[in-house]
């Protein structure tokens, strides 16, 4: 249950406890919380701070320069560290962060690897259930691996042929496509979850983790079918905060292992993994003429520049440009 926030009291440092509380009050996602705390701890260690009063926004530039010159981090990594430290100094400590000056990481964005349609289907065909359906959602709906694993039954709308992704990257909700070909497999998956859930209820369990203290507001819903994970874990586990025994969702790692085996079984030599399905989803849509803004919305990108990378993946040949070697 690694994606469930642990009790703040389990964190030893008083200041980190304060930061964690502030992050949670601001409603940031747990993945953002973990990322910000990582960079804040690293910043504190780098600067050798001994107390809260020592922390200064003036040291952010030196730390970011260190990340580039000594650790050779990517632009995205440096940007993430910057966001975390600006959040710390400007939002929590109320310090001025407008005059930061530092060396920017200059590694260019890499063109993502994609599967051809036949390659994607070949990998999927080698996967066992439920990893097969999860891979189909990554390829057919553009979901990230963690978004697919964390889907609840209520997030699937068969009538509208849509999937709702809640608290995705950037703590944003969005809707994306539900392929018609997945209606029957998902209905079978829900039927299986229902049987498993009824068994858990009979054994005195059946409660599921609900975010933002919703379980206290709506205690009955924590045992309802709609909130159950679409892809439940094979075993019950203990909620680290409440001590209650619950059934969480399947782990990302379990699916990743199956996908890597599927890639090898399909004899694909590309540097690929679960995220390759999402890249392939975007590329297929672009090749079919889907507007870039629509693709951005389906993928949940906050910046259109992130989506534009797929114009390089699709290739110039899609615009009608021919190699001189092919001209007659």
DSSP secondary structure of 156-186? EETTTTEEEE-S-TTS--EEEE--GGGHHHH
Q: In Å, what is the CA distance from 262 to each residue of 3, 120, 123, 124, 127?
A: 26, 10, 5, 7, 6
Q: Note if 278 is an active site residue.
A: yes
Q: 87 near 81, Cβ under 8 Å?
A: no
Q: One of 34, 166, 169, 318 is an active-site residue; which one? A: 169
Q: Note if 317 is an active site residue.
A: no
Which position has the token pair 């590329």? 283
**Nearest-angstrom CA–CA distance, 275 and 281:** 10
**Nearest-angstrom CA–CA distance, 64 and 78:** 7
Beta strands in 194-288, from DSSP E residues, in sequence order: 237-238, 245-246
**Nearest-angstrom CA–CA distance, 309 and 109:** 8
Question: How far, rounded to the nearest angstrom, does the alpha carbon of residue 224 sit from its chain's CA centroid?
Answer: 25
**Nearest-angstrom CA–CA distance, 46 and 309:** 34
Structure tokens at 246: 């619950």
Q: One of 132, 144, 197, 279 is an active-site residue; which one? A: 144
Q: Which residues are catalytic?
A: 144, 169, 275, 278, 301, 310
């Amino acid at each position: 249950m690694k994606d469930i926030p642990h009790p703040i009291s389990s964190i030893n440092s008083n200041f980190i406890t304060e930061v964690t509380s502030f992050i949670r009050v601001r409603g940031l996602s747990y993945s953002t919380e973990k990322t910000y705390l990582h960079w804040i701890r690293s910043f504190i260690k780098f600067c050798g701070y001994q107390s809260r009063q020592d922390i200064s926004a003036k040291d952010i530039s030196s730390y970011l320069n260190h990340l580039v010159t000594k650790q050779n981090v990517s632009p995205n990594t440096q940007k993430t560290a910057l966001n975390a430290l600006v959040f710390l100094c400007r939002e929590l400590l109320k310090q001025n962060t407008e005059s930061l000056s530092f060396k920017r990481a200059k590694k260019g964005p890499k063109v993502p690897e994609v599967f051809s349609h036949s390659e994607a289907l070949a990998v999927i065909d080698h996967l066992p259930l439920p990893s097969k359906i999860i891979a189909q959602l990554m390829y057919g709906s553009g979901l990230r691996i963690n978004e697919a694993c964390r889907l609840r039954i209520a997030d699937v709308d068969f009538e509208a042929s849509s999937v709702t992704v809640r608290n995705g990257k950037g703590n944003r909700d969005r809707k994306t496509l539900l392929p018609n070909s997945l209606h029957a497999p998902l209905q079978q998956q829900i039927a299986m979850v229902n049987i498993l859930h009824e068994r858990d209820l009979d054994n005195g369990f059946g409660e599921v983790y609900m975010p933002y203290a919703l379980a206290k507001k709506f205690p009955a819903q924590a045992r309802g079918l709609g909130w159950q994970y679409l892809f439940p874990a094979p075993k019950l586990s203990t909620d680290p905060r409440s001590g209650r025994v619950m059934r969480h969702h399947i782990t990302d790692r379990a699916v990743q292992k199956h996908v890597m085996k599927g890639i090898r079984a399909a004899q694909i030599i590309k540097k690929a993994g679960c995220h390759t399905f999402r890249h392939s989803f975007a590329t297929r849509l672009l090749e079919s003429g889907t507007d870039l803004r629509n693709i951005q919305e389906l993928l949940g990108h906050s910046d259109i520049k992130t989506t534009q990378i797929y114009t390089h993946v699709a290739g110039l040949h899609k615009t009608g440009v021919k190699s001189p070697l092919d001209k007659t």
